[in-house]
Amino acid sequence: MWLRKLYWLLIKPFLVVRDVKLECLLGPLPPILRYLKAFIIRKAVALFYRNKPITRHPCNGDEEQYPNKISSFSKALPHDELGHVNVNAYERYIDILDSGKPKRFEELRLGSVRKLVNPQAAYAYELIGPDSHQLVTPSAPKFSSAESAAEMVELYWQALTRDVPFEEYDNHPLTIAAARELSTLSDFRGPKANGRVTPETLFRGDVSGVLVGPYVSQFLWKDVPYVSATLEQRYQTTLPCDDHLTNYRDWLAVQNGQLPPTQNRFDPEPRYIRNGRNLGEYVHNDITIEDGVTPALILLSYGDQALDRGNSYLNSSSQEGFATFGRPHVLDFVTKAARPALEAAWFQKWLVHRRLRPEEFGGRIHNKLKGRANYPIHPDVLASEALALTFEKHGSYLLPQAYEEGCPTHPAYPAGHATFIGAMVTMLKAFFNESFIIPDPVLASSDGLSLLPYGGELTVGGELNKLAFNISLGRDASGVHYRSDGVSLMLGEEIAIAILRDYRKTYNEDFRGFSLTKFDGTKIEV
């Protein structure tokens, strides 16, 4: 090894020999060269990111186009009776974001008791992976666009169908009507079959495996081996028809940062996820890493046959992996990717896009149709059957929220959940065999009280993709995100791939690299 030769030829003769009675050290490199090599590896990674081209961050221009900020996130700031943000308070908020000075955030002018969620995460630096400010997302759909209108129509249908079991989508009149209407919209970008939305494609993603089999991923249903116990994936959920912020006064109060005027009502019986309401409540309570640790523990229980074929120890007759290429390595990398993903999402949310939440958009629709204000909203949503049924059910055009508090107090685009699950799923694809067939697949009963056998074959790769979209679109089912906010699945994927690349030269094993399939179907090696 060239470092060892360098040591003996140039460094060893000049070292001062100290009176060391005993030193127990084995290995190919003496300490000084080990330090040097560690420095070279770290410096090479830093130089890689330093030498990347300067990035530009596109936005949709809505914030500048509308002086009254009707298309921008403003929840928790003060608003007037139409739900329009106080422009002076908004401009102060923008000035503070632009400054980035920690003390200035205490100058934010809030409407009441609710606080903004962690805007300073937008400025955080990371020591692994790319800097969050080097990553780019596309512009969010414009407020007046047909795409935004289509996304709102989908959200109204998701609210209307929250209590329909996924297994009844094929024959339930509401899901059939939803598929029919979404098929007619000018710019709906969800998956279709032969050019039309069907109950089988409804509220799903359009990547490999997501349209195969049950709506819910096996990793949200199957029992989880945890230490010496087995955890059943039945979760507390809310009761049917438990919808919120459909009254205008309630809606306006929470825009001004007041505490929710109504409370969620909980089902006393824990259930397997079997409808949009259950899925939405699951992603109401998860934090981050649970969504990666759960599938990791399930996959690790399947043994070596479920591991990626490139694992350095699969063919070893004398060793097995542990700190490297073993269980601790898997769990560490899956969880390691989550926080950098959130930082990247928070940068985009606060410092680039500041897109209003669907809850806020629903207020614009309500006030327009009530004749109180005039907004450039595309007619696809204003004339929709979903909106008419919502008014018939609730007496307003507001988007019903599954959570008592409505949406979080941070901007919509991109979605934090989608970003961190995109990163963790990508890590899982790197460590496990995507073509491995999941043993004994299951299906939740329509009442969510039991698991039934599912007769088809489901792969690890497909069910990981499905998990990613379940977590992302589950937030849509609650009314707090749009479909396009899920673009951050790819943002999370990019972060995970970069972390894998940064660690590539840190292993001693004869390792040829990680291989995985990206969300767009591209197969890569890292």
- Residue 522 has a CB neighbour count (10 Å cut-off) of 8
Please check whether residue 101 is in contact with residue 21, taking contact to mean a CB–CB distance below 8 angstroms. Answer: no
Phi-psi region of 213 (alpha: psi -120 to 50; beta: other; left: phi over 0): left
DSSP calls for 130-154: --GGG---PPPPPTTSHHHHHHHHH
Phi and psi at residue 63, in whole multiples of 5°? -60, -40
Which of 84, 133, 378, 410 does the annotation list as catalytic? 410
DSSP calls for 44-65: HHHHHHHTSPPP-----SHHHH
| Kind plus residue range of the DSSP H or E element containing 226 | strand 224-226
Q: Is 481 a catalytic residue?
A: no
| Kind plus residue range of the DSSP H or E element containing 422 | helix 416-431
Rounded to whole angstroms, how far apart are CA atoms 378 and 392? 21
DSSP state of 514: -
Write the CA distances from 468 to 435, 475, 485, integer angstroms.
17, 12, 13
Q: Is 329 a catalytic residue?
A: no
Please check whether residue 149 is in contact with residue 380, taking contact to mean a CB–CB distance below 8 angstroms. Answer: yes
Which of 84, 366, 378, 417 does the annotation list as catalytic? 417
- What are the catalytic residues? 410, 417
